[in-house]
Amino acid sequence: MKYAIISDVHANPAALEKVLVDAERCGAEKVVCAGDVVGYGPDPTGAIRILRERGIPTVMGNHDAAVVGWRDTNGMIGFAREGTERHRRELGADDLDWLRSLPHVYENDGFAVAHANFANPHLMDYIHDRFEARDSMTCREERMLFVGHTHIPAIFTLGFFSDPHFPDCRREEDERDFRMAKGCQYLVNVGSVGYPRARPCSTYALFDPEIGEMQFRKVDFDFRGYAEALKAKSIPVPPWVEERRRQDGDFPKRGKTVLDT
């Protein structure tokens, strides 16, 4: 069975639909979501509806936990905190209950999915470097692990590279497709579907556990449509969207925008 692993939809059902269409065209038979269904974006209800109607297994992200009141929002930047509060008001009781029901880890077919670090999945600590990746990998038996959270696609490999007696973890320089090598364990950050601030496109991963093949997929992101959807609800447009539209010649530089990290 071929899987599509997606993450960080962030209340952007239009981007989610495009990614799901691409995944189906690529032969994905099942989709798994690595969390952050809500937060930031214009339509949390629409994003949740798609995942629920299609029965897509989903783990809890930090924004999902914040919306249901299980995570403190004081440490969030203003734009993220405003999105959390807005979505908490917009979502109905049934959707909030669905968010509360999400597990922290999904495991099946020899791989596992979490929103962030597997060492303490409920804390949702970022994985930026090989040391943080190693913490996740050494606490799991699966040879393939998937995460999101940073919005930046990445590959980490744990194996015997320099010392035949001591496994080392390295971050691969390229976001490349690969086939799993014997004796190696992998952690893949699949990027973001609905809030790709570090990339000009939505990204996700295809994984075939039978042959151990992993592929990154990139799908065009509709920056114009996304900005219009935000403005229709009087939500400030993030700087990365403004910058991308300027690069595309969509409109001249505007005034003050919210800060984003």
List, for residues 19-48, the tens digit of each pLDDT value. Answer: 999 999 999 999 999 999 999 999 999 999
Residue 108 has pLDDT above 90, yes or no: yes
Residue that is written with structure tokens 């496994």 in the block: 167
Q: For residue range 170-208, list pLDDT tens digits in order.
A: 999 888 899 999 999 999 999 999 999 888 899 999 999
d(CA 208, CA 226): 31
d(CA 127, CA 115): 10
- pLDDT in the model for residue 60: 98
Architecture of domain 3-221: 4-Layer Sandwich (3.60)
Q: For residue range 44-98, list pLDDT tens digits in order.
A: 999 999 999 999 999 999 999 999 999 999 889 888 999 999 999 999 999 999 9
Kindly provide the b/e burial profile for residues 105-126, where b requires at least 16 CB atoms within 10 angstroms of the residue's own CB.
ebeeeebbbbbbbbbebeebbe
- pLDDT in the model for residue 110: 95
Domains in the chain: boundaries: 3-221
Q: Which one-letter DSSP state was computed for residue 118?
A: S
- pLDDT in the model for residue 250: 52
| Stretch (H or E) spanning 30 | strand 30-33
Residue 10 has pLDDT above 70, yes or no: yes
- pLDDT in the model for residue 165: 65
Which residues have C-beta within 8 Å of that of residue 185, sequence separation ≥ 6? 137, 142, 143, 144, 145, 157, 158, 159
- pLDDT in the model for residue 249: 62
- pLDDT in the model for residue 164: 65
Bridge partner list, 200? none
- pLDDT in the model for residue 176: 87
Q: For residue range 124-169, list pLDDT tens digits in order.
A: 999 999 999 999 999 999 999 999 999 999 999 999 876 766 788 9
Residue 258 has pLDDT above 50, yes or no: no
- pLDDT-derived band at 253 (thresholds 50, 70, 90) equals very low
Residue 102 has pLDDT above 60, yes or no: yes
- pLDDT-derived band at 115 (thresholds 50, 70, 90) equals very high
The whole-chain average pLDDT of the chain stands at 92
Residue 254 has pLDDT above 90, yes or no: no
